[in-house]
Amino acid sequence: MGIIKSSFSFILGGFTGVYLAQNYAVPNIKKLADTAVFMAKQIEEKYRKPKKKDED
């Protein structure tokens, strides 16, 4: 009884996630994260301090 009771919320969450993904337009989290990282890199490069000549 212990393993069923402890894994009930995990199983219920899995079924709920599958249902939502099949029936609703759930965004692709990996694609959103990749876009955010790309934009952060662009902003960093734009506002980065220029290197000094003697630091090469």
pLDDT at 32 (0 to 100):
93
Nearest 5°: CA angle at 42, between 39 and 46?
Answer: 140
Band (pLDDT 50/70/90 cuts) for residue 56 is low
Tokens of 46: 């734009």
pLDDT at 1 (0 to 100):
65
Are the beta carbons of 22 and 16 closer than 8 angstroms?
no
Provide the greatest CA pair distance for the chain.
70
Dihedral sign, Cα of residue 17, residue 20, residue 23, residue 28: negative
